[in-house]
Amino acid sequence: MLSGESAGGLAAFHWTDYLAAKVSPSTKFWSIPDSGVFIDAPNKLTGQNSYRIWFENLLKLSNTETGTPISACNQAYPNELWKCMFAEHIFKFINAPIFTPQSLYDSWSLYNIIGVRCPDHQSLTECSMQDRERI
């Protein structure tokens, strides 16, 4: 089993097929990336897709000639390699069994990615209707 939570969950998405190929065919292999989905969405405060920009900068700093661990994604998006950093884009390229638990409201993502500052970690009762629609 491969698992991770938050950033580790995102890493589990990336390495699922690679590690599944390394185990014996008779071994049952599962990947459980917990809360590893960070959406590519504009931040309401800046208007920018902040997380996408972070990934674009990460790819500039890393060895982009080899791409990401998911070669099928690299081939599908050769001019938009940043897409291969997001679970929402790479999920369709993963072949090994995968179970993806994800909280309904990820307070870190709401605050840091889309710029919604209202959640109390239990409900959206303190959010404006506009923020609820955004979420």
pLDDT per residue over 34-76, tens digit each?
989 998 999 999 999 999 999 999 988 886 677 899 999 999 9
For residues 119 and 90, membership in a common domain is answered with no
Q: Output the pLDDT for position 43.
A: 94
For residues 92 and 121, membership in a common domain is answered with no
Question: Which residues, including other chains, have CB under 8 Å from residue 18's CB and lie 6 or more apart?
Answer: 69
For residues 54 and 70, membership in a common domain is answered with yes
pLDDT exceeds 90 at position 118: no
Domain count, the chain: 2
For residues 91 and 129, membership in a common domain is answered with no
For residues 22 and 77, membership in a common domain is answered with yes
Q: How many residues does the chain have?
A: 135
Structural domain boundaries, residue 67: 2-102
Short-list 85, 80, 49, CA closest to 69: 85
CA atoms within 13 A on the CB side of 7: 2
For residues 118 and 130, membership in a common domain is answered with yes
Q: Output the pLDDT for position 108.
A: 83
95: burial class by Cβ within 10 Å (0-12, 13-18, 19+)? exposed
For residues 98 and 123, membership in a common domain is answered with no
Q: CA 94, 100, 103 angle in degrees (round to 5)?
A: 145
Pick the more confident residue, 134 or 119. 134
For residues 93 and 115, membership in a common domain is answered with no
Distance of CA 81 to the CA centre of its chain: 14
For residues 28 and 80, membership in a common domain is answered with yes
pLDDT exceeds 90 at position 132: no
pLDDT (average), residues 85-108: 90
Distance of CA 84 to the CA centre of its chain: 9
For residues 84 and 31, membership in a common domain is answered with yes
For residues 120 and 60, membership in a common domain is answered with no
What is the DSSP code string of 38-93?
------TTTSS-HHHHHHHHHHHHS-TTS--S-HHHHHH-TT-GGGGGSHHHHGGG
Q: What is the pLDDT of residues 11-29, one digit of tens each?
A: 999 999 999 999 998 999 9
pLDDT exceeds 90 at position 102: no
Q: Output the pLDDT for position 48.
A: 96
Cβ neighbour number for residue 103 with a 10 Å cutoff: 12
